[in-house]
Amino acid sequence: ITERKRSEQHLASLHEINIAITSSLDLHAVLNVLMEKIDLFLPYTAVLVWLRNGEGGLLERAASWNLNEEEWKGRKLTGTPSLVKAAIEGKAPVVAENVQTDPRTLDPDFYRRHGLVSYLGVPLLVKDEVLGVLVFLTREEHQFTKEEIEFLSTLAGQAAVAIHNAQLHEQTKNQAAELDRAKKDLE
């Protein structure tokens, strides 16, 4: 297909994704819509979402698509994987052509077992603050093009805003509940 046609498809998708992810303040709903839409573009690609946990800023494994979530979340890790850390510290996409052989990979056996090869980690940025990292893993060696990286970075930017809003909504709900309890205690 022509460059222009692809560009139009990307724009239409970004618009659709934006509507879908901003129509909910539920974090899991936002993540599911995001991953479903990514799947249309990159079928068979595993998608992982790492998010900072509240104020402490520790990263946790939030969601995955096309990969057994229990197994991914259940892996014992000694720290934040280098590739994820690099995307956060650099506030820029990080690529590994083959995670099974890349020296920065924490657990190459895990990727080998699941047949995951090429890696792209895109930071989830809101106002220059990193909320987490959106990771794409292909099942065959794939060279992410500049266009793909730009598209997925734009997508990550939209997702970051939706995730941020969902997190703020959650905080507000929790604070309201606490205020309610405090009020009841006073009465």
Helix ranges restricted to H, 106-145: 108-113
64: phi then psi, degrees, rounded to nearest 5: -145, 160
Position 122 scores a pLDDT of 95
Q: pLDDT confidence of 103, banded at 50, 70, 90?
A: very high
Q: pLDDT confidence of 83, banded at 50, 70, 90?
A: very high
pLDDT tens, residue by residue, 159-179: 888 888 888 888 888 888 899
Position 63 scores a pLDDT of 87
The sheet with strand 94-96 has its strands ordered as 58-65, 46-53, 129-137, 119-126, 94-96
Say which amino acid occupies 40.
Answer: L
Instruction: Look up the pTM and report it.
Output: 0.81
Average pLDDT over residues 32-60: 80
Range ranked top by mean pLDDT from 6-10, 22-26, 96-100: 96-100
Separation CA 133–CA 121 (nearest Å): 6
